[in-house]
Structures are given as structure tokens and as C-alpha cells.
A and B are shown apart, each in its own frame.
Chain A
């Protein structure tokens, strides 16, 4: 099925470890986004990309890095995980917003112990 695929779905990390979350979309969308969801705080934008090879910071970028080497993939990296990064991470992709909204992935639940 067409859409946004996130891997992995679950992960437990120890403080200080690193990991990469992968987001892949097959809709030829230019725009891709990484959000984190925490109870009572809604979704907060971490980083986003307006096209292959471009990335930009969102509302809460500290402690994260991203790359978009291919149009269909958007990677989110944690270089040195901290307990404060325990969250559910959602990737989304879109065309221009005035043509419609986002398509979301199913999320990655990350626990940092």
C-alpha cells in the first residue's frame, strides 16, 4: 500500500547510545517531517525537509540530526540518547499544504533508559 513507512516500530536504548530512525514514502512527496509526540504536548516538529538534499530545524531540534539523501527517505538520528528523548516519533510527508494535509507513518516508540 502506498504511504509512509517507519522503521523500527519499537526500540529501547541505553543513555548515550545512538540510533537512526528511517522514514520512507512512495508518494513522490517533496516535503517530509519528523515530529515527536509526548503526553499533553501534542506533536512538536523536530526537523523537516523541503526537498532532496535539504533539511531545516523545527521547534525542538536539539539532540537530533537528519538527512535526506534520497527524495523518498528521511532519516532521524540520535547521536547520544537521553531519557528526555523517550517519546513516540512520527514521520510525515506532503505536497504543498494548500493541496491537502500530511500523510503520517505509524510511529516509532522509543524508550531511553
Chain B
């Protein structure tokens, strides 16, 4: 069965610093990979996705993630974070069915 591991439960970072949120997956079949963001007291919003094609995917607000098949990773990066990026981030995958399996989440806290 497919699974997702988010190694860091919390990541504190200063504003304008770079950040990387780690995600590793396990699957024996073709994968689709997603990052979702959850702002306080809200639902989850799709941030970016890898379905096929280019292994580097980008979001409209400056985040990017790279699908690395050999390392089974899909880490999320941003070169310069803003206070408004404070949120919880979830990595998710599906290993062939139409259901997503989520990681346990990483709380990104951006400090001044």
C-alpha cells in the first residue's frame, strides 16, 4: 500500500529565509503527488501537484516541488518565505487507486 512520510512535524523559519519541507513516499506503481496547505481553521487547499511530465512543479505563490523517483521524494521548497505562508502543509499520494493517502503534516511557522 502507498504511504507518505513527512519527517518534520514543525519547521520554524525567519521571514525572507528559504525553506524546505520534506516528503517521502512509498509506492510500487505509478504515483501522483500533491501538496496541500491548510491555513488556521480552514479546509485544505491544493498547492501544487505532480501528475506526469516535468518533474519540477510550481505554484502561483512561489512554492515549488521536485519529483525525484530515485529518492522517492517530493520535497516542497520556497526561496523566500513570508509571514502569510504560516500554515500546515500536507503531502499526499495515490498509488494507483483514486484515493489520496496523506502525511501527518508539517507546521510551517514564519517568524519576524
Q: Which of B9, B43, B90, B101 has the most CB of A within 10 A?
A: B43
Which of the 9-residue segments B14-22, B44-52, B67-75, B77-85 touches chain A?
A: B44-52
0/1 string, B76-112, CB within 8 A of A gives 1:
0000000000000010101001111111110000000
Q: Shortest Cβ distance from A5 into chain B, in angstroms?
A: 11
A50 contacts the other chain (CB 8 A) = yes
A105 contacts the other chain (CB 8 A) = yes
Q: Number of B residues whose C-beta is below 8 Å from A?
A: 25
**CB contact under 8 A between A106 and B104, given known A50-B98, A100-B49, A101-B49:** no
Nearest residue (CB) in A for B32 is A97
Number of A-B contacts (CB under 8 A): 59
B42 contacts the other chain (CB 8 A) = yes
Q: Shortest Cβ distance from B58 into chain A, in angstroms?
A: 16
A64 contacts the other chain (CB 8 A) = no
A31 contacts the other chain (CB 8 A) = yes
A43, A48, A106: the one within 8 Å of B42 (CB): A106
0/1 string, B38-68, CB within 8 A of A gives 1:
0000111110010110000000000000000
Name B's A-contacting residues (CB within 8 A): 6, 9, 32, 34, 36, 42-46, 49, 51-52, 90, 92, 94, 97-105
